[in-house]
Amino acid sequence: MKILRLYMKEDSKVKPTPAEEPKVNKKEIIEINLKEEANLSTDDDDDKLVIKDEPSSQDEADEPIQADVSAASSCDYNLSHFKKNESVFSENEESESQTEIKVEVKEEEDSDEDMPLCNRSKLSARVSSNKRKLEDDDDEEDDDIPLAARKKPKIEKKIKKEKKKKRSFDDEEEEEDFKPEKKPKVKKEKDKKKIKKEVSQPESPVKGGRKKKEEEEVEVWKWWEEEKKDEGVKWKFLEHKGPVFAPPYEPLPKSVKFKYNGKVVELSPEAEEVAGFYGKMLDHDYTTKDVFNKNFFKDWRKVMNEEERELITDLQKCDFNQMNAYYKEVSEKNKNRSKEEKKELKEKNEALIKEYGFCIIDGHKEKIGNFRLEPPGLFRGRGEHPKMGKLKKRLNAEDIIINCSQDSNIPKPPSGHKWKEVRHSNTVTWLASWTENVQNQVKYIMLNPSSKLKGEKDWQKYENARRLHKCINKIRDDYQKDWKSKEMKIRQRAVAMYFIDKLALRAGNEKDEDQADTVGCCSLRVEHIELHEKKDDKEYVVVFDFLGKDSIRYYNEVPVEKRVFKNLTLFMENKKGGDDLFDRLNTMILNKHLSDLMPNLTAKVFRTYNASWTLQQQLDKLTNEDDSEAEKILSYNRANRAVAILCNHQRSVPKGHEKSMEKLKEKIDSKRDAIKDAERQVKDAVREAKHGSVKEKFVADKKKKLLQRLKEQLAKLEIQETDRDENKTIALGTSKLNYLDPRISVAWCKKYDVPIEKIYNKTQRDKFRWAIDMAGPEYRF
DNA sequence: ACCCGGACTTGCTTACAGCATA
DNA sequence: TATGCTGTAAGCAAGTCCGGGT
């Protein structure tokens, strides 16, 4: 792998700064800083921020980087796949700096366990208060504004948005080829025949429960044994039935009244439907939020008729209680449906899936991921989303673009309707798409993860990550050197890469004003980190505290290399809390650089790489050949958990966790009692047996066996207990599904003789079929 | 060189089926 | 037989990244 290092000239252009606070040219800042440095740093020549050409390399405190995966309190594995003995960082000697970072999974005042994660502990909005050790200037005026409310001045954004909106309005329909294409009739026949043959799976006779389902599964063909040829073409033939529309609105019974200002008001169906969306959610936290209510009310009024609009002017005066009660009643009724009804419904649903849930792609029948269009409703953004509560409109055929083969049976729109467009683009993988009206984003109907299309990509992803392994040393070396670059941009880039590599941070694209204020690496702001020269007997600690994807809080105290620390100090100089930490960097620049280092390398690959690598290391470390199966699985889960912690995958404490824990404890206690009892019995029996006959001996043996079994059961329960408790705020699913090379798990299962079903459930096995097939016990990531 | 939208992956929550248990 | 629990799938929001147009 050839690695290009670009030492470019300091770019002449200075990033435009917000108008109100004329900022110093970055170059100047460096220089200023250097002067200061020169003055200050008398003793520790260790870390001059060199700007001259030759970097002062020798006396680097070249410490190896450690992945920070230490667990939250309870579990104490201390992994570090970066450790030198793992040979990843072989060039870096010494340094025992055991990094021990607490991933403090929100521990404030026990209170809010039941809320969705993003609503919890609104992140110490005061993260960046004056505690800063290395006092930069003191102008942090917006410390008291909650994070989400802080705005970066972005005027052009507004204009952009306007434009967007306009576009979405006036690009009404422009009809297109909706009549089935006649021309390739012959080919069609042929194709169809072929498909028929492939598709008509042996119809499984109904053989009760599970079995039946298994057999009805889509055919699995070993695409991974086929030769790969890409060229951007995703398929040759694609046929499907089109999406399933949301069921039409059924007006409420007349007895369900809506009241305004205490008086019953009869709503038009349109207004009623939308009111119903709100009424249904009355118990939800959302309806207590200002933004939500405002947005809802505004959009609701839009669908009202003149009269209604005139009358209903204040949400406070609206009474949705009857609607709420009605919906509750309905769902109650649904729960109590009779067996027959349930069965009927199920059959109907299965028939629907059978008809619409599959497509034919290149001669194979494959499951579609989401063949149902999203029903109308109120938008529920996560975190402090400015658009929460807006009305998500009902979709019609006129909104939908169909994508399929020209020579396939083109799906029919509902009678009286026309598709927005039918296109035949085989360079994309979606079957249908539409533009959602709240965020103005395209949404898609795509294939299930078990499909070839998805599987192949998944496989590629992990191969790519494995490729990174081959040059990770070089890359790490490189960015460590770049910490001393004389160019600000490169320094920032290098520090960002370090974060991404070490902490598995996301890239952090820029976001629009009209989205929740969350950040990733490149979009970190000064207010999101705190620097401590010393914290709890650790040196050079960076405290991260910000809201990441889905407004999940990321909190981490990380000891870093001195040079990184100094650089951060430098980056924060003369900035306010709301300013970008890496003002010379964005994801594009970063990814551009990464792709120069290795083809197809992007920020996200590091996450995949580090996750999978961590899993492998952990599995190696935690698994004992002669553990019981349950113990091995616990080890696996622990390894999995380490990854989840690394990637900050959280979840809200499941409802009734407390209760279920208690129950488990009870069970354990009673098991213990049983064991005591059994022990006593065994003792007695043994005594009897000593001078007894064969029969007594037999009894004693039996009792012993029973005791043994009880003990095993107890052990299992205890394992379950720790496992469950350690897991309460950590979500394993995401990493399992998206970050861990399944071949590692498969290999582990094969090596230690654990049935794959214990690790992957049915869906997961489908998704990872390729890996199950591909990897032997010797596979290494 | 940047902006923007399109395409696709990632991530959390919710609803529900199916099972065990009382 | 009703009830409660648990694991799974569905749902959909929110990221990443790329490429085309200007």
pLDDT tens figures, A436-467: 999 999 999 999 999 999 999 999 999 999 99
Is A288 a residue whose pLDDT tops 80?
Answer: yes
**Enclosing domain of residue A347:** 212-397
CA A719 – CA A758 distance, rounded (Å): 15
* 3 state SS of A156: helix
Let me know whether A685 and A589 are in one domain: no
Let me know whether A224 and A360 are in one domain: yes
Residues near A370 by beta carbon (within 8 Å), at least 6 away in sequence? A445, A446
Distance in angstroms, CA of A122 to C1' of B1? 38
Q: Is the CB of A607 under 7 A from strand C?
A: no
Distance in angstroms, CA of A166 to C1' of C6? 48
**How confident is the model at residue A26, as a pLDDT?**
33
In a domain, A287, yes or no: yes
Let me know whether A467 and A587 are in one domain: yes
**How confident is the model at residue A229, as a pLDDT?**
60
Q: Is the CB of A161 under 7 A from strand B?
A: no
CA A704 – CA A675 distance, rounded (Å): 11
Q: Is the CB of A381 under 7 A from strand C?
A: yes
Q: From the candidates A739, A752, A760, A779, give the one annotated as an active-site residue.
A: A739
Residues A119, A122, A123: CA angle, nearest 5 degrees: 130
Q: What is the mean pLDDT of residues A624-642?
A: 91
Let me know whether A371 and A486 are in one domain: no
In a domain, A370, yes or no: yes
* 3 state SS of A343: helix
Q: Is the CB of A234 under 7 A from strand B?
A: yes
CA A558 – CA A602 distance, rounded (Å): 23
Let me know whether A87 and A123 are in one domain: yes
Let me know whether A589 and A693 are in one domain: no
Kindly report which amino acid residue has its CA closest to the C1' atom of nucleotide B3: A160
The conformation of residue A149, written as its DSSP 8-state character, comes to G
Q: Is the CB of A647 under 7 A from strand B?
A: yes
Last residue of a domain, one of A612, A632, A654: A612
Kindly report which amino acid residue has its CA closest to the C1' atom of nucleotide C13: A381
Distance in angstroms, CA of A152 to C1' of C21? 28
Q: Is the CB of A702 under 7 A from strand B?
A: no
Catalytic residue check, A286: no
Number of domains in chain A: 3
Q: What is the mean pLDDT of residues A597-608?
A: 95
Q: Is the CB of A550 under 7 A from strand C?
A: yes
Q: Is the CB of A670 under 7 A from strand B?
A: no
CA of A132: how far to CAs of A564, A583, A692, in Å? 16, 20, 80
Let me know whether A217 and A322 are in one domain: yes
In a domain, A780, yes or no: no
| Four-point Cα dihedral A655, A656, A661, A662, nearest 10 | 160
Q: How confident is the model at residue A230 (pLDDT cuts 50, 70, 90)?
A: low
Nearest-nucleotide field for A757 (CA, C1'): C7
Last residue of a domain, one of A546, A580, A612: A612
Distance in angstroms, CA of A728 to C1' of C18? 37
Kindly report which amino acid residue has its CA closest to the C1' atom of nucleotide C4: A660
Is A20 a residue whose pLDDT tops 50?
Answer: no
In a domain, A55, yes or no: no
User: Average pLDDT of chain A?
Assistant: 76
In a domain, A205, yes or no: no
pLDDT tens figures, A667-696: 788 788 888 888 888 888 888 888 777 888
Which of A74-88, A184-198, A531-545 has maximum average pLDDT? A531-545
Cα-to-chain-centroid distance, residue A212: 33
Considering only residues 564-583 of protein chain A, which place a Cβ less than 7 A from any atom of strand B?
none
Let me know whether A630 and A599 are in one domain: no
Distance in angstroms, CA of A450 to C1' of C7? 19
Nearest to residue A572, comparing CAs of A605, A527, A509, A532? A527
CA A663 – CA A288 distance, rounded (Å): 34
A68: CATH: 3.90.15.10
Q: What is the mean pLDDT of residues A543-560?
A: 96
Q: How confident is the model at residue A218 (pLDDT cuts 50, 70, 90)?
A: low
- Tokens encoding A701: 């043996």
Q: What is the mean pLDDT of residues A123-129?
A: 32
Considering only residues 432-461 of protein chain A, which place a Cβ less than 7 A from any atom of strand B?
433, 435, 441-442, 444, 446, 454, 457-458, 461
CA A695 – CA A692 distance, rounded (Å): 8
Nearest-nucleotide field for A118 (CA, C1'): B12
Q: What is the mean pLDDT of residues A414-425?
A: 95
Is A390 a residue whose pLDDT tops 80?
Answer: yes
A267 φ/ψ angles, rounded to the nearest 5 degrees: -95, 150
Distance in angstroms, CA of A213 to C1' of C8? 14
- What whole-number percentage of chain A has pLDDT above 90? 55
Considering only residues 377-396 of protein chain A, which place a Cβ less than 7 A from any atom of strand B?
none
CA A175 – CA A417 distance, rounded (Å): 11
Kindly report which amino acid residue has its CA closest to the C1' atom of nucleotide B18: A209
Let me know whether A600 and A642 are in one domain: no
Nearest to residue A619, comparing CAs of A460, A461, A777, A455? A777
Let me know whether A230 and A379 are in one domain: yes
Cα-to-chain-centroid distance, residue A414: 35
A700: CATH: 1.10.132.10
Let me know whether A355 and A504 are in one domain: no
Nearest to residue A100, comparing CAs of A53, A68, A142? A68
CA of A299: how far to CAs of A270, A324, A388, A418, A439, in Å? 12, 20, 11, 27, 14
Last residue of a domain, one of A367, A397, A427: A397
Q: How confident is the model at residue A716 (pLDDT cuts 50, 70, 90)?
A: confident
A248: CATH: 2.170.11.10
Distance in angstroms, CA of A362 to C1' of C21? 33
In a domain, A438, yes or no: no
Please check whether residue A639 is in contact with residue A618, taking contact to mean a CB–CB distance below 8 angstroms. yes
Q: What does A68-91 look like in DSSP terms, one character per residue? A: --PPSTT------TT-GGGTTTTT
Let me know whether A556 and A654 are in one domain: no
Nearest to residue A360, comparing CAs of A329, A404, A392, A319? A404
Mapped to the 3 state alphabet, what secondary structure does A278-316 carry?
HHHCCCCHHHHCHHHHHHHHHHHHHHCCHHHHHHCCCHH
Nearest-nucleotide field for A765 (CA, C1'): C8
**Amino acid (one-letter) located at A433:** S
Distance in angstroms, CA of A74 to C1' of C18? 42
In a domain, A12, yes or no: no
Considering only residues 267-326 of protein chain A, which place a Cβ less than 7 A from any atom of strand B?
none
**How confident is the model at residue A219, as a pLDDT?**
66
**How confident is the model at residue A8, as a pLDDT?**
29
For the ranges A118-122, A147-151, A616-620, A629-633, which has the lowest average pLDDT?
A147-151
Instruction: Name residue A558's beta-bridge partners.
Output: A542
The conformation of residue A254, written as its DSSP 8-state character, comes to T
Q: What sign does the dihedral A661-A662-A665-A666 (CA atoms) show?
A: negative
In a domain, A593, yes or no: yes
